[in-house]
Amino acid sequence: MKKNKMILTILILSVVVLIFSGCGGGNPVTPPPPDSEPLETIIPDTTKVVEEETIQEITSITEDQSIIVFEKSTPQLEELIPGDIIVMGVTEHTPEGLLRKVTNITKGGKDGSQVIVETEFASIEEAIEQGSFEFNITLEPEDIEKDISYPKGVRPVRDKFETGYSFSYELDKVLCNNHLIVDGELSFDYHILLNGTIGFFKLKTLEFKNTVESKVELDVTLTDSLSVGDLLDDNPKTIFTIPFKKITVWVSYVPIVLKPQIDINVGLDGEIFAELTTGITISQEDEGAYVAGVEFDNGIWKEIKNEPVFSFDYRDPSLSAEAKIKAYAGPQLELMLYGIAGPHCNIYGYLDFEADIWDDPWWKLYAGLDVTAGLQLEIITKFWSATYSSPEFDIINYRTPEPIAQADGPFISINHAPVISNLTANPSSVDINQTTTITCVASDSDGDTLTYTWDKTGGTFEGSTTGPTITWRAPSTPDNYTVECEVSDGNESDSKSVNIEVTAIAAFQYVIQWSTAESNGWINPLGEGEELITDTAFDYDSTIYSNNHPGKKHVGTDIIGGLDENIYSIADGTIVKITRDYSSTYNESVIIIQHTNSNNEHFFAIYGHVLARSDLEVNSKLEVGEKIGIIKKAGSPVHLHFGINLSSEITDFMFTNSDGEW
């Protein structure tokens, strides 16, 4: 059955942007009273806060602030030299403030009265030799600038008593990217702390901390099919922006202006071809404010975090096909210094929804929290930015280990995995080089045809390995070995393994040396490389046999083998006797072959307890190494009765014992 996987990731986030400027809009540039100046603060003579008289002479500033044109000179401009750091607040020409290093000063204009100042990028630590700064504020609704225009479907909830949060926004069928409709409510309180110290023009410490309490109620609906190409255009998209009033922070007489800004964005990542709706509520319990940030101390970075507690609620999803959706909501804070990116913190509560109409359960809901924090170093410190890459920390990455909700399914008949109910080895313990039969008992509730795949940690498989029963031969090294069987219906599978103990031959067992026979061109009757192991109780001088049959010899040696193991002719020859006489408890099957040695002399070899090939008969010609039959059970252990008689007459071999037993 074919499955078309479809994925949708939906991102709702708010971005807080704090813009640092040289001075506050409407705030005087006059420094604070001397008695409020920290004693440890040192502002070098090379740092020049542009005075009001000089500001009035500005005629233009390029967009990148690299060139500033003044209508005429002022006493402050007369003292300005390359290498100085100039700082400006929010003015008509510097809406983001200004922090730059002077590289060149020239005269221009029709009468040469204009002053043209060329500049380059500068960092805060270049403007402050020694000192500290701190920005510590809880954002409030009254800090928002007036005359905000919200788009259709967005309504601010101004009653904090009603929501319990400083900032709350209702989203009613807000259309995004012509494919998504967002409904719900986003509420949060946000406190920001940024402080640092500088010594000898080098950043010593920096702390950037975000304390947030939030609640997210979010419904996201996909209105129609969405392709990958739709994701490449305007992603993410800002729904609306919340600008805040400017705030001035002083480092001695150097003003820094911060301008918070919150953007509510929607982002897409994925592909889906079905209409889909899902919802989530994420709230913090009791003292649930979470803290996230980064801290710097003389070149060492570390994360700031606590362990908040969250509760998750959801609204049942509806969809018409397979899908995956991840819906986020929460503030993303980015701290801009003089209009340039600095510290940032992303805080997303999310619902992770997975659905497949073929599965049972057919949908699952997870919830979690992702928090990251980091800094772009260049605007704060040139020294450390040349030494370290900008740090980025995963503060919290939490996802509920189990679904918070799920639905039974499926809607249609689904495939069920096969089940192995038993896997056995008989016998479960064998001697080295011996065989055991392994059987897998498996079933499939759908009645599907099963395929079997076998694997092992040692030894060899003999014969077919495509069915439920196989033969495994133990290696020559005693140990515990594992054989595994996997069954599959083509879609699902199950597997089990069985342990087999392989033991060394007992003290009364020994290996028959076959090297002399090989020098005569004879082939091992068990096959090339196999060991011929016998027992003192069952060799030619067997006392057990002589006690059971007084006055008789065993007329051969019992070589331990495996049930149904192949037996081979040791040399070229002709069959002179075949007996096929065996049952599950009795086996008198025998093959006697007349061979010829290297001196062209005839001899006879007996292969007892061997069931001959069905096509063989008396007078059949055989080649050296040709398979003649398989061992059948006759007593314990399973064995080949093998003997050689140099007589030229078969009767001398067959009737060594008067009753014909061998």
Please report the pLDDT score of residue 542 as a whole number: 67
- Mean pLDDT along residues 267-283: 42
Q: In whole angstroms, what is the distance from residue 336 CA to residue 344 CA?
A: 9
Identify whether the C-beta of residue 327 lies closer than 8 Å to the C-beta of residue 10.
yes
CATH topology of domain 419-503: Immunoglobulin-like (2.60.40)
pLDDT band at 615 (very low <50, low <70, confident <90, very high): very high
* Residue where the block lists tokens 């494919």: 179
**If one looks up domain 47-122 in CATH, what number appears?**
2.30.130
- Mean pLDDT along residues 29-57: 74
Per CATH, 47-122 and 419-503 having the same topology is answered no
Give 572-582 pLDDT, tens digit per residue: 999 999 988 77
Identify whether the C-beta of residue 240 lies closer than 8 Å to the C-beta of residue 266.
no
441, two tokens: 């008992």
Residue 418 has pLDDT above 50, yes or no: yes
Indicate the class that CATH gives domain 509-644.
mainly beta
List 132's β-bridge partners, or say none: 197
Residue 156 has pLDDT above 80, yes or no: yes
pLDDT band at 334 (very low <50, low <70, confident <90, very high): low
Please report the pLDDT score of residue 366 as a whole number: 57
- Mean pLDDT along residues 241-256: 79
Q: How distant, in Å, are the alpha carbons of 230, 326, 654 from that of 658?
A: 98, 90, 9
- Mean pLDDT along residues 85-90: 88
Please report the pLDDT score of residue 15 as a whole number: 32
Q: How distant, in Å, are the alpha carbons of 53, 191, 285, 415, 504 from that of 433?
A: 102, 75, 67, 42, 9
**What share of the chain has pLDDT > 70, as a percent?**
60
Q: How distant, in Å, are the alpha carbons of 128, 176, 238, 292, 395 from that of 296?
A: 18, 39, 32, 14, 15
Residue spans per domain, the chain: 47-122, 136-406, 419-503, 509-644
Q: Name the most confidently modeled range: 313-322, 589-598, 607-616.
A: 607-616
DSSP E strands in 159-309: the ranges are: 167-176, 180-199, 202-222, 237-243, 247-251, 254-258, 261-268, 276-284, 290-297, 300-305
Residue 191 has pLDDT above 90, yes or no: no
- Taking every pair of Cα atoms in the chain, the longest distance, rounded to a whole number of angstroms, is 144
Neighbours of 356 (CB within 10 A): 20
Residue 22 has pLDDT above 60, yes or no: no
Give 288-309 pLDDT, tens digit per residue: 565 666 676 777 767 766 665 5
Please report the pLDDT score of residue 497 as a whole number: 95
Residue 166 has pLDDT above 80, yes or no: yes
pLDDT band at 629 (very low <50, low <70, confident <90, very high): very high
Give 104-116 pLDDT, tens digit per residue: 999 988 788 999 9
SS3 171: strand
Please report the pLDDT score of residue 309 as a whole number: 56
Give 423-482 pLDDT, tens digit per residue: 999 988 888 878 899 999 999 988 889 999 999 999 999 989 999 999 998 998 889 999
Please report the pLDDT score of residue 71 as a whole number: 94
- Mean pLDDT along residues 308-332: 48
Residue 654 has pLDDT above 60, yes or no: no
